[in-house]
Amino acid sequence: MRNYKIEIPLQIFSEFGILMLNLRAILRILRRKKKDRIMELTFRDLGVSEEILLALEKQGVRTPTKVQEKAIGPLLQWKDVIAKAPTGTGKTFAFGIPMLEHVDVNEPSVQGLILAPTRELALQIGDELTGLLAYYKDIRVAVLYGGQRMEPQIRALKTKPQIIVATPGRLMDHYNRKNIRFDKIKTVILDEADRMLDMGFFDDVTAILNRIKNRVNLGLFSATISQEVMTVSWMYQRNEVEITVAAEAESKPDIDQYSITVPRLEKTLAMQRILESGVFARTIVFCNTKTMCQRLAEDLQRMGFRADCLHGDIKQSVRERTMSAFRTGKLPVLIATDVASRGIDVDDVDGVINFDVPDENEYYIHRIGRTGRAGRKGLAFTLIGSFPEKAKLDEIAKFAEFTITPMILTNTAVFAPHRRRKSPSPGGNSNAPCRIFNDFALLSLGKGFACSGPSGVSPFGGSYAGKSGQYGRPPHERGASAGNRLYAGGG
């Protein structure tokens, strides 16, 4: 019998091997995704009642966030919790759901207490808890805060609420007047604990905790863990569950951050140019002091902007009207101090402008956390008017591990320094080290995008890369002038 020798080119074996490796990799990915789907927790898996599940479904909330996954279980088991999570990650539901689950509807007394640093935040928490009570009839929530007359709050306390949301000062006022008792309170939550203790409420908070003799568990929730928060934890928590949700992946807001260097006396003009660009439909501007907040609001109003301010010296009725106008979109520009801003919980804030560099590193984190929420893109600008402000912002960037792109404001343009500080010229190419932008929408898309002139054609030979409606209309639809240009690093 004759033996035949069949020769198969080596290339076929090589390509077949590569194909098999690719198939194996694809199968591994599919198995991993299937495993992830199986392991993904739901609110039902966390032991949440049917009434809460229906309320969550009514609000369109279907899966818990990381902090909710980690906090709801321990709190339902009456454990102490200290949780660090970024702003806007759903901390209110993380402690609010277990508190509602623990309420004994047959006991007409206060069983849960939530302390908040500001009246705006207290009102926001109260609204969110009320939303969770859509299918409960016998659980009542009362909100106590300063700046409002005592009589309406006393009437609310006479309805025998089981849960109280309060600012520390007003709560102590009611306690000293014997309008409220603490003997049946089992769960205490400190929301925005770092800010509350930093604002000088340490003595009030400890006085309140010392008077709650039958407390079973204590929850501390904050975006940062300060020394004061650790002190309260050491004094009042036992075998606490520590929870940390890193500001990354889905928990990290998608915020592009920029600094603009201007002479200190020209910050208001810089603000005017940013707002006139039409980039932001809804903006929050931060100042360090009440005086600066009020002055900037008046300056912008004289320039024709619909702007108003929010700080501690404003009457509560005025504050509520201002916040209502901002939430409904009637007020495009809100100027606030750090303290007053803690209750602002509006998902579709397009951008944040730091008129002043914040005094504390944590303040910056809380400020920019007002934008980039609910999966939206966010923008944050910080105006630098002196060397100490620049040094402070550098310290903040290092502390928070943020990338803050520096920009320089001139009479005709804004430059973002790149490897070489070279101004682009219309005869340049799309790989020039510094590119020209005609609105912030392009700037927000980051590096590597072509830029556009008013006609929609890039002066560097590329096409218009912006997306209409993300932060404002493209310049050729807005009629942007060639003098209002922004330069950002590219390449």
At 367-397, the pLDDT tens digits run: 888 887 766 778 899 999 999 999 999 999 8
Residues 224 and 297 grouped into a single domain: no
Question: Residues in the chain, how many?
Answer: 491
Same domain, 439 and 368: no
Same domain, 294 and 146: no
Mean pLDDT, range 264-268, rounded to an integer: 90
Contact between 91 and 251 under an 8 Å Cβ cutoff? The reply is: no
Q: How many domains does the chain have?
A: 3
Helix (H) or strand (E) holding 136: none
Over 90: is that where the pLDDT of 484 sits? Answer: no
Residue finishing a domain among 224, 249, 274:
249
Looking at residue 266, the DSSP 8-state letter turns out to be G
Same domain, 235 and 320: no
Q: What is the tens place of the pLDDT at every residue in 142-188? A: 999 988 889 999 999 999 999 999 999 999 999 999 999 999 999 99
- The alpha carbon of 338 is separated from its chain's Cα centroid by a whole number of angstroms, namely 13
Per-residue pLDDT, 217:
95
Is 221 domain-assigned?
Answer: yes
Bridge partners for 380 per DSSP: 257, 352
State whether 367 and 441 are in the same domain. Answer: no
Q: Is residue 20 part of a domain?
A: no
Domain-embedded: residue 167: yes
pLDDT tier at 409 (50, 70, 90 boundaries)? low
Q: For the purposes of burial, counting CB atoms within 10 Å of the CB of 441, is it exposed (0-12), middle (13-18) or buried (19 or more)?
A: buried
Percent share of the chain, pLDDT over 70: 72
Judgement on whether residues 122 and 238 belong to the same structural domain of the protein: yes
> Angle 423-263-275 (CA atoms, 0-180°, nearest 5)?
75
Q: By C-alpha distance, which of 218, 146, 137 is closest to 185? A: 218
Write down which residue in 381, 408, 435 finishes a domain: 408
Helix axes 91-102, 50-58, angle to 10 degrees: 150
Give the Å distances, CA to CA, from 286 to 6, 318, 360, 364: 78, 19, 13, 10
Let me know whether 104 and 241 are in one domain. yes
Residues 278 and 264 in one domain: yes
The torsion angles phi and psi of 4, rounded to 5 degrees, stand at: -100, 140
Position 70, amino acid = K
In this structure, the answer to whether residues 349 and 279 fall within a common structural domain is yes
Is the pLDDT assigned to residue 248 strictly greater than 60? no
Given a cut of 70, whether residue 74 has pLDDT beyond it is yes
What H or E segment, with its residue span, contains residue 261?
strand 254-261
Domain that holds residue 61: 50-249
Give the model's confidence band at 33: pLDDT under 50 very low, under 70 low, under 90 confident, else very high: low
Q: Are residues 126 and 236 in the same domain?
A: yes
Mark whether 464 and 319 lie in a shared domain.
no
The answer to whether residue 168 is domain-embedded is yes
Average pLDDT over residues 131-143: 92
Residue 31 lies in a domain: no
Please report, for the domain that includes residue 357, its CATH number.
Answer: 3.40.50.300
Given 382, 408, 434, which residue is the final one in a domain?
A: 408
